Chains A and B, each alone.
Chain A
């Protein structure tokens, strides 16, 4: 494998003349070849998702190895599904994933930016600048760029709902659900505001926001539900209730089915009277459990999924339905925490500890059917924790999945604003501003640093260029005009994709969190630095 990588490297560059295999190890230009090969691979990845940037970016359809179809506009999702093989290219995939974790949005931008920085680095390499110098130069440039971003950012207050809505709308505008942003943006903003305390919190746990996806209906029908929504359905096979008012909710982690003896142990019967006793014992065992549950006042029973035993059997369901207790089984282990938080109940592991103080209270628990699917909704919860449930609906699974991803991105945008309460404008404006200021800075410096600053400045312009291209505009005229406007002090001038002109992004309500932009610059620069410092690829077992 090492030999393959080594001999493969020269092939990738047109300039390298083919040599004998052993020669490659003695050649001085091998590190350069490795570097160039890495750059080529990484750039190919950047190019692959370039067309999905921006509000008019297109989607990718990916047929995975398992013949599943994914249609997406989200950079991280696309790259996750493309099985990228080249190790250097994989770094860009990871970069996109890192941006997804850190900021949640801008996953396409970060990769496109990294691709562009690599192109710049390639040119500098060819000029004979040492890779570590390039890495260092870019690092300084990135620090300066972040400073510039912070300088032009607009601090906000989380009470200002308008700004939050606008940022969510900007994030949603590039997705397939863009036309529904007037519905989805308030859902996103309200759900985040519901789970955080704006005065104290500096982060949002997105696990507290639950998205339930149901096929059927259109995205218009999506809503933020007061209370909790369960994916599971009420069990009605024994005629149990599906609607309980003034419900007391219990969450049990044990099973309502007769215990099974071990394989080694046998119950031995040698008299016919014992047969009756066995049947009766089973009944009484279950009856006892159910009666205790009823005694605690529980009217809605959530049962955790168990792999060892049946969660319920027909006998216990029969008893539950007789006692008018609504039963919902198959609650996943990882849902327990959320459900407990949302309903204020506590998980009960043992029947003896089934007491009233562990129950949650809700005004209504109801299973309802709409658009061909059933959901259980718990509303009017007393002592509800800080959680939010969103029901997503869509015509088919593809739309639904993509809508889910878009909502996640928008949630992340709001989360970024909670983390770092500042905004920058969108539409390529901050990138042009960075580019111009860095160019000026470059002139104040000497040596390789100056050249690196200049190269970095030009590389950053890839964002407005791509935006313009994807919108069907002429990138040259747009970018040159943008430079002009920014040089004249219009810091918020960006590409108005809808009208195909340049306008004030602040007035157009195209805004994004500062954190998305800074994290994109920091992460992409770091990835480029790391790629610069690689001079050999070896396969290890």
Chain B
């Protein structure tokens, strides 16, 4: 396990909203988090000022220590960088000891708290306390404490069963208490115990962990009790009406709990509790990826159980690699994936919005607004919002010209690893996609993203990435004896082996006379060489095979002046066939019972050549007859970077494709969300029903995008958003022809911390992506909100195999 002890992970982990409350192990040089200092029996803080020197006297030399200090010539010595010693002053030590909850030096940038929104409440003391660790954790000695850094462990199959959200491979202290360690009170199985993953949702949704299991919690019963409390008179009347009505029904509820396990083979959570759980799961998911939103969002490193590393900024990719067990969490992961397949971009935003919608809905429901009302309100708001985007915000690309396309690609790229070379890659994305334009039989233009072949070649910097028209295959020519470059080739794409022919199963070759052996062998070879003849006689000069070609036949091709490429991936073979006008030939059989090669299945191009890229030989097909393909060669320092570059480039291709096919864009940088917020709030006031409240919450939930954008950029979100809202209000109240209505295009400039006209600045997103995002986020939120009961059944026992050996 690697400790990521850079400053970034340390400082970020201190943010309360962040999912893992992380403590690096108390190595010297790091400031020890206050929680770790609470238990003096395990850890005595060093005397004032002598922290660094005194540290080695701590029991680090003992064998149990998981992190032995580094050793150099002078024995144990820690030369911590100067800036990291700073927090370890006397004032710090004494204070943290007396008031362990005091954030002290950890206090991040103080931002004015805004009511109703916890996402900007960072740094207020009241919130700090909520995120502190529960007492049980403090009983663990610091050296035993698992190390939680911002590394997510993906797909660890070894995770313990009670881990409902994520598995990390961090050690569990529950199973291995150190001597003298008093274990926390035993928690019966089947509870929604706090997941071992140390997940803290922001906002007041934390579950009271470690409570006894509730097998059946009856909402109606609670309702009845509440009724008694609030309306004693009514209940009196009610009871008099006849206990049969409600009394008997609540009679069902009295005989509950442990017996109910008899009726349901599992556990059950109902009512507000399940809603709170679901909302918490959703928030935890959103918390994982929210810091990667926007142009200044940061990346996540994911390590899976075999140690493979993925570094990504893409919401869908991150969530796909996390092992999410909570069913409601799974819905959000699916949501991100759906957005990825349907749109290709906006995967992070969709999850953030869905989680925020859920959080706010839960708040409303707690205030006795029926979930059904909230759902109706959300639906109404979503419908209105989509209409508003289409009618008011969307701009036609025809008016904005080619520039707009590059801007769209730029906007997508800006948040990713390629951001530094925005224009370069944006132009590349637009050009490479424009080159593959095709028209289907209905006359509609299509831009197949798949026709853009992305190749990753290690070495050289990202700047040296290049793009050309033509199809590149990451395969060399089969033989060095072949021509390196061939003009006007006739291309055949074959999907069968050209090897010595073998008879099928069930056919025995029995030879009585040894002379026949040679004849049989010769025939075996000849069947294939006849096929090669057929191919060559048809005028084919370039053969791309998805399978193998034996050396003797390669020689035949080479002697005839033809080139061959073997083991071409099937996907590539199909594309080559499509592009060159060839067809994928599975067999040479013709309709007369013989073998021949039809001229119609031979394609052509202008040039086939082998070029050298980095250390590898690559075959390139240029000027294909039917459909152009383009190839983008990405260069990067290592595999992780290349993978992430590919994902980023793919996202931008998708965005450009959407714009090319739908033809409408909207300004980015939070301007649509803010405009919708302003619009929906005024829309809400036109309704006289309870749904009004839900619509207002929907509107405010959308603001979480600009807020998160500015928080990620370390800008003052309050000020920026207030200003932005003022601009949008002005735009929406202005007359249609007034110059003020152009203010609707204002959005955030995250680098400068200002607001600006994002259409002019070229921050554009596909309109379709925004609409789809809102629709699916609302749909997912409603899906989760409708759940008021969760039944978890026990895993089915494995069926006994009657044939198994006992």
Contacts and interface: CB of A to CB of B under 8 A. Distances in A.
> Is chain B found bound to chain A in the same assembly?
yes
Interface string A258-284: 001100011111111101101110011
Given A12-B259, A51-B789, A270-B509, A85 B586 contact: no
B158 to A, nearest CB: 17
Interface stretch (B234-242, B425-433, B622-630): B234-242
A237 B586 CA distance: 9
Interface string A85-103: 1100100000000000000
Interface in A23-63: 40-41, 43-48, 50-52, 55-56, 58-63
Contact of B507 (A12, A266, A284, A465): A266
A471 B263 contact: no
A472 B372 contact: yes
B244 A120 contact: yes
Interface string B318-352: 00000000011011001100100110000000000
A472 B365 CA distance: 11
Given A82-B264, A272-B519, A322 B342 contact: no
B788 A58 contact: yes
Given A86-B263, A261-B506, A275-B503, A458 B791 contact: no
Interface string B245-258: 11011011101100
Interface in B474-531: 495-496, 501, 503-504, 506-512, 516, 519-520, 522-524, 527
Contact of B259 (A40, A46, A267, A323): A40
Contacts of A73: 786
B737 interface: no
Given A120-B248, A315-B589, A60 B791 contact: yes
B248 A123 contact: yes
Contacts of B220: 47, 50-51, 469
Contact of A116 (B237, B249, B266): B249
Interface in A388-429: 395-399
Nearest to A217: B342
A60 B790 contact: yes
B583 interface: yes
Given A218-B779, A283-B593, A86 B796 contact: no
A182 interface: no
Nearest to A123: B248
A22 to B, nearest CB: 24
A58 B262 contact: no
Size category of the A interface is 35 or more
Given A396-B338, A462-B245, A469-B223, A48 B507 contact: no
Given A59-B787, A265-B506, A399-B783, A83 B527 contact: no
Contacts of B177: none
Given A58-B788, A476-B238, A47 B508 contact: no
Nearest to A8: B262
Given A58-B789, A69-B327, A318 B587 contact: yes
B786 A396 contact: no
A44 B586 contact: no
Given A82-B264, A314-B586, A476-B241, A269 B508 contact: yes
Contact of A56 (B246, B370, B593, B794): B370
Nearest to B334: A396
Contacts of B791: 48, 60-63, 81-82
Given A44-B260, A58-B788, A318-B586, A461 B245 contact: yes
A250 interface: no
Nearest to B511: A270
B264 A85 contact: yes
A476 B234 contact: yes
Interface string A435-462: 0000000000000000000010011011
A176 B252 contact: no
Do most interface residues of chain A lie in helix, strand or loop, or is the interface mixed? helix
Nearest to B792: A63
A66 interface: yes
A43 B507 contact: no
Interface string A143-179: 0000000000000000000000000000000001001
Contacts of B219: 51
B793 interface: yes
A315 B587 contact: yes
A276 B331 contact: no
A395 B379 contact: no
A121 to B, nearest CB: 10
Contacts of B330: 69
Contacts of B338: 216, 395-396
B795 A48 contact: no
Contacts of A480: 241
Interface in B334-380: 334-335, 338, 341-342, 368, 370-373, 379
A58 B371 contact: yes
B264 A465 contact: no
Contact of B510 (A59, A260, A268, A458): A268
Given A283-B593, A315-B587, A462-B249, A61 B789 contact: yes
A65 B234 contact: no
Given A60-B789, A119-B252, A283 B589 contact: yes
Nearest to A269: B509
A501 interface: no
Given A12-B259, A260-B506, A372-B342, A119 B516 contact: no
B316 interface: no
Given A83-B264, A119-B251, A476-B238, A61 B523 contact: no
B303 to A, nearest CB: 24
10 contacts: A40-B259, A44-B256, A51-B219, A51-B788, A55-B372, A272-B520, A275-B520, A461-B244, A476-B237, A476-B241
Given A41-B262, A119-B252, A314-B587, 9 more contacts: A41-B263, A44-B252, A59-B787, A83-B793, A176-B786, A179-B379, A267-B508, A396-B335, A471-B372
Interface of A: 12, 40-41, 43-48, 50-52, 55-56, 58-67, 69, 71, 73, 81-86, 89, 115-116, 119-120, 122-123, 176, 179, 216, 218, 237-239, 260-261, 265-273, 275-276, 278-280, 283-284, 287, 291, 314-315, 317-319, 322-323, 371-372, 395-399, 455, 458-459, 461-462, 465, 469, 471-472, 474-477, 479-480
